[in-house]
Amino acid sequence: MKCFVMRKVGEVAVLDKRVPEPGPNEAVVRTTSAMLCSSDVHTVRGAIPVASDVTLGHEAVGTIHALGSAVEGLAEGERVAVGGVTPCFRCEFCQRGLSSQCGGRMMGGARFTVQRDGNLAEYFLVNDAQANLAPIPEALSDHQALYATDMLSTGFVAAEHAELDFGQTVAVFAQGAVGLSATIGCRLRGAGFVIAVESRPERQELARHFGADVIVDHTRCDPVEHILELTDGQGVDAAIEALGTPGTWEATFRVTKPGGRISNVGYHGEVPEPLKIPLEPFGYGMSDKHVHGGLNRGGRERLRRIFRLMEQGRVDPTPMTTHAFGFDEVERAFRMMEAGADGIIKPLIHFGG
Amino acid sequence: MKCFVMRKVGEVAVLDKRVPEPGPNEAVVRTTSAMLCSSDVHTVRGAIPVASDVTLGHEAVGTIHALGSAVEGLAEGERVAVGGVTPCFRCEFCQRGLSSQCGGRMMGGARFTVQRDGNLAEYFLVNDAQANLAPIPEALSDHQALYATDMLSTGFVAAEHAELDFGQTVAVFAQGAVGLSATIGCRLRGAGFVIAVESRPERQELARHFGADVIVDHTRCDPVEHILELTDGQGVDAAIEALGTPGTWEATFRVTKPGGRISNVGYHGEVPEPLKIPLEPFGYGMSDKHVHGGLNRGGRERLRRIFRLMEQGRVDPTPMTTHAFGFDEVERAFRMMEAGADGIIKPLIHFGG
Amino acid sequence: MKCFVMRKVGEVAVLDKRVPEPGPNEAVVRTTSAMLCSSDVHTVRGAIPVASDVTLGHEAVGTIHALGSAVEGLAEGERVAVGGVTPCFRCEFCQRGLSSQCGGRMMGGARFTVQRDGNLAEYFLVNDAQANLAPIPEALSDHQALYATDMLSTGFVAAEHAELDFGQTVAVFAQGAVGLSATIGCRLRGAGFVIAVESRPERQELARHFGADVIVDHTRCDPVEHILELTDGQGVDAAIEALGTPGTWEATFRVTKPGGRISNVGYHGEVPEPLKIPLEPFGYGMSDKHVHGGLNRGGRERLRRIFRLMEQGRVDPTPMTTHAFGFDEVERAFRMMEAGADGIIKPLIHFGG
Amino acid sequence: MKCFVMRKVGEVAVLDKRVPEPGPNEAVVRTTSAMLCSSDVHTVRGAIPVASDVTLGHEAVGTIHALGSAVEGLAEGERVAVGGVTPCFRCEFCQRGLSSQCGGRMMGGARFTVQRDGNLAEYFLVNDAQANLAPIPEALSDHQALYATDMLSTGFVAAEHAELDFGQTVAVFAQGAVGLSATIGCRLRGAGFVIAVESRPERQELARHFGADVIVDHTRCDPVEHILELTDGQGVDAAIEALGTPGTWEATFRVTKPGGRISNVGYHGEVPEPLKIPLEPFGYGMSDKHVHGGLNRGGRERLRRIFRLMEQGRVDPTPMTTHAFGFDEVERAFRMMEAGADGIIKPLIHFGG
């Protein structure tokens, strides 16, 4: 089967590998469509150490090709989605609800690419299949279901950690696919005022489409000052970091009220320096601000709740998809993602057949 | 009346001031005893900007001298304690439970010394007296009640933000009066393993007395390595920073498990540099660690719950009191606190009469 | 001034009373508009013991007529709303966030009518004015602001106690003004599937307008069976009781999943018998179901968040207003509410001048 | 192998059965010791429908006899405990943390006896062994470890649902083994005043030993009145029902403050009538009281936290063990439990060899 792999830092290729076989609790899925993620770009840049020739990708849907002997309640041929994070759900961390940190390993729930082959491949293996595979409702397209695997799930984590009450205010830094999903999440949680920080016009437009009340263009103003102005000098109840840069990270502290929440879903692996918390906006440690750095939690239960929101028409994330490719064009798609070319946000990858 | 004031950075004195008169919601308390706090030392060093000749102190008990016209349910002559933090309990921040950040001002609940005269004085004013004065139960000494005003309340905040479940593990960095109180708090919340980091023998002994299971002396080993060893390489569920130095702050990230909590009650005002979060132990922003920087919350309700714990014999914090002085010796007591002389932890200040 | 009072059980009238004068922490508001509530009807039926000739009403907006000497940050003439519940925000219950149960008195935050004169009067007194009066933003009509005082605030309490996660399922029993507001609240919190139980066509239509996905008409089917069918036999994650009858109360247990939440905002004062929990759907006490019986919490902070949702166009509750009257017609309006005549849901009462 | 079974309602026996064989995710444990539980008595009385000749018991420890092919991290011969509740930890309910209600079946985590053979047998089967077996630390005796499987875990659930803050007050109704464990749990969570309701002198003494501050003997006074007196007429912050009778259930509502929590762990299967909530103490549905009916949650992570509390000397539950028997005397032990003879609380059952 064909797989899109990272040969070494900076180098990708399509290679042939054997179709995997499932262990007792595993499943093998035949991929029907997938998406590239900015994490794939980070990985190829060397931000995360991975095995050589590892298959990239962690956002895919397909049909069940083979099921392990101990997997119940699923059938071969069934159309399924699988989370970008696939925890075991049995270890002590999972038992505490910390499935993102499965096994007590930092980001341990992230298996695809990080711990074994990802799913930008014609077939892929799913560990703990009963807990991680979610049948896709008939009413949803593969395209929609793909968004549940990572983008919406991660954006919703961001909104959950923002701990918004009815009518509270929130600023979301950056409106890439995760930031846009966080904007959707904040609206779904009843935020009363959503400020999106973004400079690219096409992303600004999407942010408005998905529910941002105001767009702050950080290339045209000091975003911290502007957010304080927009909130009568008080700051926001919560700020979400969905980019992973020192500047946006520090800004989240400057724009939040005392007692506010800083919810981070940006990956800070590219600048090899400690994250800095500015002293005064953190009240010298006594501002009662909370900081939470989160990751997608995975699991069928979460997938099904996100599916329901799409089924009932609460959200349709597909306008984030800016491009579509066949799997034979995956390398080109990847290079566009890498370059941020042509306003690309999310490329959809179709698998033949 | 005599007041112990800060004349300017580095300079203290005893001055005469007029006995204050209460507004409609206020009260004036005649002080019977008080304690010095390391925050008084920080303040005189210039860590917090204050008015010149402001009275120091925020830990005091006494009897009600005068009550404002709108204060109900209290009587002149009643023996009362008042929190080191005295929120209004009416503003929008207080209405949300963020009384420490009263008025939306960073640490806004802290009024004594920071916003107006403190209570190292023969008489002192209490804002919003009905919400902030707590009658002291007969069974408690003034000495015990003093600990409820700040040390226990702040140490318990530290333990609350550590969000401990039954039997979880916690490391408490530094065993000064707040750190010792955090150790007490962690034990009261059902921690299964409490590691105290401290080098001074008399504080180590107190830590053991108050329930630490193991003492880590950071002058004799790498405390991070040692804590990881003590927890089978896993780290602790929560770490408490009760000192306010860059080194202890960073260590809290290195000793916590993925998904762990960092609870800060140390004041980071002495080193004028951003706080640094080491990248790898923070999972590059994705470790699901929570950070919470807290402050005493004040209020009668909290005081009364702490009183009850002392009344029922759950805790007696008075062994932390290493020295006692008359109010006429307050400057000497302050200089000993400043110098950390003679193993001083908490000095008790008696007021005559 | 003219006041709409309850003379005795079953008897109402318009009486003249003196305009009240504010104490130090109080304010007097000149009423511009108000609404009748089904609680007024309950009260006149004798469900709650009240003083004779007490003024009815607890949903009103107006302009500040007089301010107590200790009230800050507000000005005479300012257009304000005041919650149907007006806690002191200073007592120990308020300090714990239990403002609905102010003073430790059951439903103690409910002062209007229950503890003193209500606000169906040309002027009315507001206790603890600084905490309870919220200036109305220019963008909002009096009519909209009125909904923040009780209906939306109570409906949102119902949704808060339903503790909904993204995409969860909820059934709301009865679509009167509180039930409709609960439906709005559930949608704002990201419910994935909202089932409204209601038989009257005009209320069904409003339920759909405000976001219910499915209407169950309990006069045409067994609502428990139907809700179980709609949820693949599993039941809903949460059920809201917004009526106050034994039948709907018991149904909430029958339609919830194990681990589900029962959120009650119905007033069960009319049938003088204990509430019954059916054994099997409660798992004989071991189903991990939560039950929470709630009340509006009041306070400026909450009012302002609800205002923000209306300002930003998230919700416009005014379609619930089915009728409008001048204050001189208030008795007629009351009798219509009492009789449920002409499909009345909420009547708006205009005050002259 | 010999098994202690329920032949039909009211009838028990020791029968021979085949030693089970583990499926891929299962394990078989050779029992070394076990305890009888009052639930076994309830079951034999017919409170729960079970298969005929089902093996009784759900509190046992032993050594691993055989491991399924997919179980990792455990070894044959290892000394292990297994929770009285053994969830799958993979289903959607377990993924939400509702492991007690595994599979969405009411009390679905309870498998022993209810869904298949229990563990009052020489060998027993454990589903999902990796998640449910916890190696017993060397420092703990089998006797101590047994208490983690059900009594302490359930008593701690009761305390968790009481949601106690530092220094709050709680009443625990009945001091059988679960009630005593709840008392332990409340003390471990920092309760400031623990009232135990119990009439039998030997249980009263144990309650005091485990940390109750006051004992209320309901045979000598009206316990509701007495608890109100003990709390200055206010009532307690939380009440725990650890018996399962209509009278104690109703009393929990009468003794709690507005906003209080009712935490139920009593099994209400013996009186076939709805549970009744008295109207006035529930504020006619508006008291902001929470009710939570809970069940042991099971799982290795929880077992290990309870082990740690015993290892560090926080608690030693073994004084609850009033009697010891060999497995050949199990029927006699059961009949004593049934009759409540000789002050029996928990009987320890030793297995030979």
Residue of chain C minimizing CA distance to D272: C279
Contact B97 C97 (CB under 8 A): yes
Interface test with chain A among B286, B287, B289, B296, by most A beta carbons within 10 Å: B286
Give the model's pLDDT for residue D272.
Answer: 87
DSSP SS3 for C12: strand
Residue of chain B minimizing CA distance to C99: B95
Chains C, D: CB contacts within 8 A come to: 164
Which residues of chain B are modeled with pLDDT < 70?
Answer: 353
pLDDT digits (tens, 9 = 90+) for C1-56: 999 999 999 999 999 999 999 999 999 999 999 999 999 999 999 988 899 999 99
Give the model's pLDDT for residue B353.
Answer: 56
pLDDT digits (tens, 9 = 90+) for D125-167: 999 999 999 999 999 999 999 999 999 999 999 999 999 999 9
pLDDT digits (tens, 9 = 90+) for C107-149: 999 999 999 999 999 999 999 999 999 999 999 999 999 999 9
Partner residue opposite A308 with nearest CB, options C156, C193, C307 = C193
Quickly count: other Cβ atoms within 10 Å of residue A343's Cβ: 12
Contact C92 B300 (CB under 8 A): yes
- Report the DSSP beta bridge partners of residue B44: none
Residue of chain B minimizing CA distance to D159: B166
Give the model's pLDDT for residue A47.
Answer: 85
Distance from CA of C104 to the nearest CA of B (A): 12
Confidence of residue A353 (pLDDT cuts 50, 70, 90): low
Chains A, B: CB contacts within 8 A come to: 164
Quickly count: other Cβ atoms within 10 Å of residue A319's Cβ: 13
Contact A274 B269 (CB under 8 A): no
Confidence of residue A263 (pLDDT cuts 50, 70, 90): very high
Alpha helices in B73-231 (DSSP H): 92-95, 129-132, 142-149, 151-161, 177-188, 201-209, 223-230
Q: Please answer whether residues D281 and D86 qualify as being in contact, where contact means their C-beta atoms are separated by less than 8 angstroms.
A: no
DSSP SS3 for C343: helix
Contact A190 C189 (CB under 8 A): yes
Distance from CA of C304 to the nearest CA of A (A): 8
CA D332/CA D13 separation, integer angstroms: 11
Chain B residues with CB inside 8 Å of A269's CB? 279, 284
Instruction: Give the contacts of A194 (CB within 8 A, at least 6 positions apart).
Output: A169, A170, A171, A172, A183, A186, A187, A211, A212, A213, A214
CA distances (Å), A249 to each of A264, A269, A293, in order? 8, 13, 11
CA D30/CA D21 separation, integer angstroms: 12
Give the model's pLDDT for residue B271.
Answer: 86
Contact D128 A90 (CB under 8 A): yes
pLDDT digits (tens, 9 = 90+) for D26-83: 999 999 999 999 999 999 999 888 999 999 999 999 999 999 999 999 999 999 999 9
Q: Which amino acid is at D152?
A: L
Q: Please answer whether residues D184 and D209 qualify as being in contact, where contact means their C-beta atoms are separated by less than 8 angstroms.
A: no
Instruction: Give the contacts of D329 (CB within 8 A, at least 6 positions apart).
Output: D349
Partner residue opposite A264 with nearest CB, options B96, B107, B285 = B285
Contact C92 B301 (CB under 8 A): yes
Partner residue opposite A193 with nearest CB, options C167, C193, C312 = C312
Half-sphere exposure of B344 (CA within 13 A, CB side): 21
Instruction: Give the contacts of A232 (CB within 8 A, at least 6 positions apart).
Output: none
Chain C residues with CB inside 8 Å of A309's CB? 166-167, 190, 192
Give the model's pLDDT for residue B242.
Answer: 98
In chain B, the domains with their CATH numbers are 2-150+296-350 (3.90.180.10), 157-293 (3.40.50.720)
Residue of chain C minimizing CA distance to D250: C274
Chain C residues with CB inside 8 Å of A232's CB? none
Q: Which chains touch B (3 or more CB pairs under 8 A)?
A: A, C, D
Confidence of residue C353 (pLDDT cuts 50, 70, 90): low
Chain D residues with CB inside 8 Å of B165's CB? 305
Helix (H) or strand (E) run with residue C31 in it:
strand C27-35
pLDDT digits (tens, 9 = 90+) for C53-102: 999 999 999 999 999 999 999 999 999 999 999 999 999 999 999 999 99
Give the model's pLDDT for residue B352.
Answer: 80
Chains B, C: CB contacts within 8 A come to: 50
pLDDT at C328 over 70: yes
Confidence of residue A63 (pLDDT cuts 50, 70, 90): very high
> Percent of chain D at pLDDT above 70?
100
pLDDT at C153 over 70: yes
Distance from CA of A47 to the nearest CA of B (A): 10
pLDDT digits (tens, 9 = 90+) for B322-350: 999 999 999 999 999 999 999 999 999 99
Confidence of residue C272 (pLDDT cuts 50, 70, 90): confident
Chain B residues with CB inside 8 Å of A104's CB? 234, 257-258
CA D170/CA D156 separation, integer angstroms: 14
Contact B258 A287 (CB under 8 A): no
Give the model's pLDDT for residue B48.
Answer: 85
Which residues of chain D are modeled with pLDDT < 70?
Answer: 353
Chain A residues with CB inside 8 Å of C312's CB? 192-193, 213
Contact A90 D92 (CB under 8 A): no
Give the model's pLDDT for residue A72.
Answer: 96
What does the buried/exposed string (b/e) look like for C292-315 if buried means 16 or more CB atoms within 10 Å of the residue's CB? bbbbbbbbbbbbbbbbbbbbbebb
CA B90/CA B323 separation, integer angstroms: 38
Residue of chain B minimizing CA distance to D191: B309
Give the model's pLDDT for residue D245.
Answer: 96
Confidence of residue A109 (pLDDT cuts 50, 70, 90): very high
CA A161/CA A240 separation, integer angstroms: 9
> Percent of chain C at pLDDT above 90?
97
CA D200/CA D215 separation, integer angstroms: 11
Contact A275 B282 (CB under 8 A): yes
Helix (H) or strand (E) run with residue B59 in it:
strand B59-67
